[in-house]
Amino acid sequence: MLHLLFYSFPIQLLIYHLKKSQVLLLLWAMLTAIVMGYFGKDLGIPYLFLDAEYLGKVDFFSFFLVGAGLGILSMSFHITCYILIGHRFGFLASLRRPFTKFCVNNSLIPLLFTLIYLYNFIKYQYDYGYGEVWFKVAGLVSGLVGMLLVFFTYFRYTNKDIFKHLAENVDKRLRRNKVNRFFLMQRLAYTQTHRITVKSYFQLPFYLKKIRYNYSYNKEDLLKIFDQNQLNALVIQAVSFAFLVVLGIFRDVEYMQIPVAASSMILISVLMMLVGAISYWFRGWSGFVIILILIILNTSLLRVGKEKPYNQAFGLDYRKKADYSLKRIKDLANEENYLADFKATTQILENWRAKFPASQKPKMIFICSSGGGQRASVWTLRCLQALDSAFGEKVINQTMLMTGASGGMIGAAYFRELYLQKQQNQAINISNRKYLDNIAKDRLNPLIFALLTGDLGFRFQQVSYGDKSYFKDRSYFFERKIITDTENILDKRLIDYQLPEAQAKIPMMIISPCIINDGRKLLISPQNISYLTSVGGFDKKELPTNIKGIEFRRFFEKQDADSLHFVTALRMNATFPYITPNVLLPSSPLMEIMDAGLIDNFGIDNAVRFLYVFREWISANTSGVIFLSIRDTQKEISPKHQERTFLNYLFSPLQDVLGNLTRIQNVRNEIDLEYATTWFEGKLSLVEFQYLEELLAQPTNADLPPSAQPASLSWRLTAKEKEGINQMIHCKYNKASMEKLKKLLEQ
């Protein structure tokens, strides 16, 4: 019996895959690593599979779609394997419905993945106390079984006369193709001399059936069978590809934005069948052909990108190119601009001072928000709402400047706009929980969905803003999602904030992403702020040689800088690698923009620069400055040592540099603040609100609910991650920070 089991069709197929199908196995291994949390956990990728969301809900239907995607992936695997290796098992020709039986016996790998997926999915749902677990499991299983039934029904009916006739017509056409016939005959000849011993196969309902080898068949019959299944595979591949195209065309329709887990499986299915087709037709040359295709695609996309860059900043005019040269950078950073901007911002400071009694010097607050994706957005807004509840409008009213990076600035910008709206409509309650729910909505699903269904290949859709047109890339969907989630109140241009800032109705906000070309900051503000490009001022005899930043408004003045969409500026400040693409600006050469966190993830640097420029006015007109730092990462962490494998040692230099980037910035910011006490004559204070992930990682914590989950660095948060962020404001550390701020404001 063991001998019969070892030489059974399922076991021999598994052995063959382990020997010859490493590329296909790698795709399954990658998905397995994701659902088990071994890949992308810090970015929240596993939660896209374990807590799949559709139309803002995690329910039966969302997992039904994921199950359907898994069904498509499983059938794509079977089709690809059947075309590539089906001819090696001649006994299939003697069986009724050979493809169905091949699929049943080829199901060990998909079945193993499905079981691992179900186990981790159920465990995750129970560990974090989510409800309706078995209802969601039923959705996943229903989608999988339903899609498999659709496929098997199709293959069953392809044995009807009309499909046989169609297959015969295809066979006749293929006969005319001498190259195709030559490959098929070669494979059959190879099979005769390289047989794989199979003594039994798995037969439904669940038993092993011995194989008889006394059947007779001829090569022409075999060729007809494989021709017919080539046609079936072509139809399935075409339908899957067409489905992706349709999803791509209508990807801005919310109902078409299926869960990322489902769309990624469909994309992998298409790629799997494409690789299978190339391997079938080109055999030993398949690797070369794939590399050649990639080179051709890369060259064509590069040529198109030179004419019109794909990842654009909405609102700017790409028909004109700004001169991006060292000479122009230095020419713009001149003393005339410096003095004019210094004078204009001093007037804003005066307007800010006029809000308070002349006999009382107020504290000036700089709000500095750290980057960190959706986690930082929600944490920043949560802190600002808590401050609003505790102190009324006192904190935001005394805030002169907001700086920061990535998601933190999105949360800060939303709060600032709500404060502006409240001044126009007294009915708005800034601390309303619905605003926190708005900023916490999923943005990763439409972002990755747009990437999978459009950005990777179908770059033809465009969107118009006035007389300008832009490619409808995933950045467009990311921005639209922010705007719709925040009820359209952030749908503004950069210039729309110039007057409210100038009148000191709202704090100034400086957005400063990193310029990859030269490492400088791109300083984006509705005000002219050339004084931050060279904070030391100007010597009358000699201009500074090292310009520390480029002022956006002046540099791109002829490209309609003031028309830049404000959310685009926030997005440029939050370009997370591979997820939100680097923005290319209309200059010659093209200026490429990346996340502000690359230079300063906490916004302290810009705030200290601003303080230095206006140190005399601020010390004379305030009772001190409070740096209110809202961090989504823990400043001080417990030291620990990680045991490293050989592979860890290979990649540890890069991991160590990236892992310590924010810690290096912590040290630099501390030094800047300490040094500021030597040149600033007023009082400086630092109040920090921290998202302490270590507290959530502890089994029991008196400050936080046990079900709260540490939040990943992603643009999507699970319900338990949101709960952890919401409750973090009540931990002892942040309570102490609240008391410290209260005392400072009372002084």
Which is nearest to 266 in space by CA: 436, 453, 104? 453
**Which residue in the block uniquely carries the two structure tokens 């999507």?**
716
Half-sphere exposure of 642 (CA within 13 A, CB side): 9
Identify whether the C-beta of residue 109 lies closer than 8 Å to the C-beta of residue 77: yes
Rounded to whole angstroms, what are the CA distances from 35 to 135, 489, 574, 593?
Answer: 19, 37, 27, 33
373 pLDDT exceeds 70?
yes
| Burial environment of residue 401 by CB neighbours within 10 A (0 to 12, 13 to 18, 19 or more) | buried
Identify whether the C-beta of residue 30 lies closer than 8 Å to the C-beta of residue 221: no
Cis before 446? omega within 30:
no
The Cα 401–Cα 48 span in angstroms is 36
Identify whether the C-beta of residue 49 lies closer than 8 Å to the C-beta of residue 261: yes
Identify whether the C-beta of residue 372 lies closer than 8 Å to the C-beta of residue 714: no
- Convert the pLDDT of each residue in 699-736 to its tens digit: 555 566 665 677 777 778 888 888 888 889 988 889 99
Query: Range with the lowest mean pLDDT among 107-121, 283-297, 383-397?
Result: 283-297
| pLDDT bracket for residue 369 (50, 70, 90) | very high
Which is nearest to 406 in space by CA: 181, 642, 603, 268? 603
Three-state secondary-structure class, residue 448: helix
Largest CA distance in the chain: 107
- Convert the pLDDT of each residue in 546-575 to its tens digit: 788 999 999 999 999 999 999 999 999 988
Q: Which one-letter DSSP state was computed for residue 464?
A: E
pLDDT for position 164? 43
Which is nearest to 727 in space by CA: 357, 438, 290, 379? 379
| pLDDT bracket for residue 170 (50, 70, 90) | very low
Burial 187-220 (b: 16+ CB within 10 A, else e): bbeebeeeeeebbbbbeeeeebeebeeeeeeeee
Q: Please report, for the chain, the start and end positions of each structural domain, with discontinuous segments joined by +.
A: 1-167+198-304, 322-635+658-746
Which is nearest to 310 in space by CA: 446, 454, 406? 454
Q: What is the mean pLDDT of residues 679-684?
A: 92
| Joined tokens for residue 462 | 């465009």
The Cα 201–Cα 189 span in angstroms is 23
Three-state secondary-structure class, residue 218: coil
**Which residue in the block uniquely carries the two structure tokens 């997926």?**
117
Three-state secondary-structure class, residue 131: coil
The Cα 92–Cα 639 span in angstroms is 61
| Joined tokens for residue 134 | 């078995």
732-746 and 373-391 helices, crossing angle to 10°? 50
| Burial environment of residue 296 by CB neighbours within 10 A (0 to 12, 13 to 18, 19 or more) | exposed
Non-local CB neighbours of 189 within 8 Å, separated by 6+ positions = none
Query: Cβ atoms within 10 A of the Cβ of 265, count?
Result: 25
Q: What is the mean pLDDT of residues 199-217?
A: 69
What's the distance, CA 386 to chain centroid?
Answer: 28
- Convert the pLDDT of each residue in 415-448 to its tens digit: 999 999 998 877 888 989 999 999 998 887 777 7
Task: Give me the phi and psi of 700, to 5 degrees please.
Answer: -130, 140
* SS3 letters across 571-590: HHCCCCCCCCCCEEECEECC
What's the distance, CA 434 to chain centroid?
Answer: 24
220 pLDDT exceeds 60?
no
The Cα 556–Cα 230 span in angstroms is 55
**Which residue in the block uniquely carries the two structure tokens 């995750």?**
124
Query: Range with the lowest mean pLDDT among 15-19, 222-226, 466-470, 683-687?
Result: 222-226
- Convert the pLDDT of each residue in 324-368 to its tens digit: 999 999 889 888 899 999 999 999 999 999 999 998 899 999 999
Cis before 500? omega within 30:
no
The Cα 186–Cα 191 span in angstroms is 9
Rounded to whole angstroms, what are the CA distances from 530 to 339, 500, 550, 595?
Answer: 9, 20, 8, 21
What's the distance, CA 282 to chain centroid?
Answer: 35
Q: Which one-letter DSSP state was computed for residue 598?
A: G
Q: What is the mean pLDDT of residues 26-34?
A: 89
CATH 3.30.70 fits 322-635+658-746, yes or no: no
Identify whether the C-beta of residue 719 lies closer than 8 Å to the C-beta of residue 440: no
Non-local CB neighbours of 353 within 8 Å, separated by 6+ positions = 362, 621
| Burial environment of residue 67 by CB neighbours within 10 A (0 to 12, 13 to 18, 19 or more) | buried
Task: Give me the phi and psi of 366, to 5 degrees please.
Answer: -110, 120
Query: Cβ atoms within 10 A of the Cβ of 507, count?
Result: 24
| pLDDT bracket for residue 534 (50, 70, 90) | confident
**Which residue in the block uniquely carries the two structure tokens 């030179």?**
306
119 pLDDT exceeds 50?
yes
Query: Cβ atoms within 10 A of the Cβ of 361, count?
Result: 15
pLDDT for position 587? 93
**Which residue in the block uniquely carries the two structure tokens 């000849």?**
189
What's the distance, CA 94 to chain centroid?
Answer: 50
pTM of the model: 0.83
Q: Which one-letter DSSP state was computed for residue 57?
A: B
The Cα 47–Cα 45 span in angstroms is 5
Average pLDDT of the chain is: 81
Query: Cβ atoms within 10 A of the Cβ of 348, count?
Result: 18
The one-letter code for the residue type at 324 is Y
Helix residue ranges per DSSP H, 593-632? 604-613, 615-621
